[in-house]
Every structure is written in C-alpha cells, then in structure tokens.
Amino acid sequence: MARDTVIDCGGIGKRYRRSWALRDCHLAVPAGHVVALVGPNGAGKTTLLSLAAGLALPTEGAMTVLGDQLPGSPRALDRIGFVAQNAALYPGLPVRDLLAMGRHLNRRWDDGRARTHLEGLGIPLDRKYGRLSGGQQAQVSLALALAKRPELLLLDEPLAALDPLARHDFMAVLLTAVAEDGLSVVFSSHAVNELEQSCDYLVVLGGGQVQVAGEVDELLGGHRMLTGPTAEADAVADRLPVVRDRRAGAQCHLLVRTGGVDAPVSGGWRQQRVGLEELVLAYLREPTASALPGPRGAVRAFEANEKAVLS
C-alpha cells in the first residue's frame, strides 16, 4: 500500500447486528489534506472514523492508516488524535486532571501547547469539564488531541453542537495547527455551507459507500451546471455523465461531470461552474451518482471521441 495515504481501505464492510453501516467501501485519502467527510445521517461517517481510530474492527476487508499501520495498533494510537462526537470526556474531572491524564497516557505529549491553547481562550484549568460550555468542551477535546502532536487528526462531527462563533474559533485553532504541523485532518460534518473555507479534500458517503472522493479544486473544476432546452436534455444526458437532472417546463438544469473542461454542448446551453455546497447537495440527493478517482478517466476518453459530433 502507498505510504502517503492517511486512510486506505479496499472494500471494507462493517455490520452492526443485521444492518451494514459500511459495505464494500473503497477509499484512499492522501496525506496532507484537510478532508471533509459528509453524508446523510446513517451514511457510515462515524463508523468509518471509528474504524480508522481503532475503536471498531471491520466485519470484512482490511484498512490501514498512516501508510501501512493497522488501526488501533500501538504505533497508530501514538500518531492519531481522535475527537469523538459531542466531545465526550469525564464530566467530574477538572481540565487540569484531563491534561494530566493525557500526559500519562501518551508517549508524545506537548503540555505547553495544550495550556497555551486553553489559556489563550480563557478556559480555566481548575473548572470541571462538565461545567464548561459546549464550545469550551470542544476546545478542551481538541487541545487534548493536538497535544499528542498527531500526524492524523480524526474529528467526528466536531461542529455539530457549536454556535457559529464557537465553530469559527474551533476551525481557526484547527487550521492553525494544520499550518504549523502539516498534519492531516479528517472530519465529518453536516455543515455543508462551511466546507468551502475549511477543507481541501472531500469525501461524500452515502448508504455505506463512498460516492465522491477527490480534491475540492478538482471536483469543482470537473463539474458544470448546464441550463438549456428540455427538448435537448436527453441527448446531452446520453453523452455526458449526469449527476443531477432537474427539468422544469421548457428549461432544464443538468449537473454533469466534464473532467475539468467546459462541456461540449451547443450554443443553446449555458454552462456555469458550481459551488461546493451545490455540488455536495446534488450528490446527496442522488445516492446512485458517484464521482471517484476511477471513472474520471472514462469521462476524458469520451470527450476526445465525441467532441466533434456534439459541436
């Protein structure tokens, strides 16, 4: 397996009793990115992160993290930071004790960084964790994870319970750490509208499988929204991979994958680039559509052959 991946899974599946949370899931996330993991509730986001953190074992298939490490192995635990959903920590312990626990439980520990982080935000170290606000609790969890100086940081819905200001503060700390340490981050999120400022790699999960995986710039450049006459829609849809097809009377809107160039369509069509939010929502609404590193080649081949016919 390539050493420059932070998460690499080939066809893994995870079953809880009778239902599959993940099934035949292929994903290779390269290192050095801030990866957003999005998908509807029950799409398998938490399961995927739990598997990567070593909290769960896949029912089928195998997964590696940070190149060739098995999730949950001592070497992987040492180098991966994990912030759980709702940032659950021991409510009865003061922040200082939580930091001490982290120091005792890890070989790599940067106590100064955690203290600077928390003092900078005015979080009192002698206050019990359970008496902090939601935003402060999230910051404490983040400080504990970052103090490990991880090479990979996994965050499960870190923003879900936070108000806008707390979200902003949280992402600011996170992105500063990324800039300083060059660590890779994978976080799951519902906040589709805030993704564009925070991530540069996107993974969309739907129904336990990976629907979209790719760098944000490439994904945005590789899609076009086509607006044109409904009468010609079927002809276009036959030749271009359509992600989403909306028809309203005489006019229709087609979100198509073009592979980085403008779509080869006639003058009756207007084409626009799309935003990340629009793109993600389109894929979430069409669970059968997918944009993976593989099929992109097929699109390019198609362009070369068909361009003359279309124009």
Partner 1 sequence: MSSTTLAPPRSAVLRAAGLRHRPALLTLLTVMGAISLALLLHGWYLHNGLDATGAASCDPATEACLLKYKQFQRQYGDGLLALDTVVYVLGGAFGAFLGGPLLAREFEHGTVRFAWTQGAGRTRWTAGGLVVGGAVLAVVGALFGLLLRWWSEPLVIRAGGFSPDLFVQAPPVLVGRVLVAFGVAALAGAVLRRTVVAVGVGLAASVALPFLAHAVRSHYMTPLEESVHTLKSMALDDRWVLNVWFSDPAGNRISTGDFYSRGSDYTQLQSLVRDGGYTAHEVYQPANRFWPFQLIEFGWTTLLAVALCAAAVWWVRRRAF
Q: If binding is defined by CB under 8 A, does position 17 make contact with partner 1? A: no
Q: Which of 61, 106, 274, 286 binds partner 1 (CB under 8 A)?
A: 106
- Smallest separation, CB 105 to partner 1 (Å): 4
Q: How many CA atoms lie within 13 A of 288 on its CB side?
A: 4
- With tokens 């108000």, the residue in question is 163
- With tokens 């929502």, the residue in question is 281
Separation of alpha carbons 161 and 190, rounded Å: 11
- Smallest separation, CB 220 to partner 1 (Å): 33
Q: If binding is defined by CB under 8 A, does position 16 make contact with partner 1? A: no
DSSP structure class, residue 66: T
Residue 105: which residues within 8 A CB-CB, separation 6 or more?
A: none
How far from the centroid of its chain's Cα atoms is residue 10's Cα?
Answer: 17
Kindly report the length of the chain.
311
Separation of alpha carbons 214 and 200, rounded Å: 9
Q: If binding is defined by CB under 8 A, does position 80 make contact with partner 1? A: yes
Q: If binding is defined by CB under 8 A, does position 20 make contact with partner 1? A: no
Using CB under 8 A, which of the segments 36-44, 74-82, 112-120, 272-280 binds partner 1?
Answer: 74-82
CB of 91 or CB of 295, closer to partner 1: 91
Separation of alpha carbons 278 and 270, rounded Å: 17
Q: Which of 44, 102, 158, 206 binds partner 1 (CB under 8 A)?
A: 102
- Smallest separation, CB 2 to partner 1 (Å): 19
Using CB under 8 A, which of the segments 27-35, 93-101, 196-204, 301-309 binds partner 1?
Answer: 93-101
Residue pair 261/303 in contact (Cβ under 8 Å)? The answer is: yes
Reduce the DSSP state of residue 132 to 3 states and report it. coil
Residue type, 81: G
Residue 122: which residues within 8 A CB-CB, separation 6 or more?
A: none
Q: If binding is defined by CB under 8 A, does position 271 make contact with partner 1? A: no
Each residue 33-72 as x (binds partner 1 by CB under 8 A) or -, in order, gives -----------------x--xxxxx--------------x
Q: If binding is defined by CB under 8 A, does position 182 make contact with partner 1? A: no
Q: If binding is defined by CB under 8 A, does position 141 make contact with partner 1? A: yes
C-alpha dist (Å) from residue 91 to 57, 128, 152? 28, 7, 26
CB of 75 or CB of 273, closer to partner 1: 75
- Smallest separation, CB 154 to partner 1 (Å): 8
DSSP structure class, residue 70: P
Q: If binding is defined by CB under 8 A, does position 229 make contact with partner 1? A: no
How many chain residues bind partner 1 (CB under 8 A)?
37
Applying CB under 8 A, which residues contact partner 1? 50, 53-57, 72, 74-75, 77-78, 80-82, 84-86, 88-93, 97, 100-108, 141, 144, 148, 156
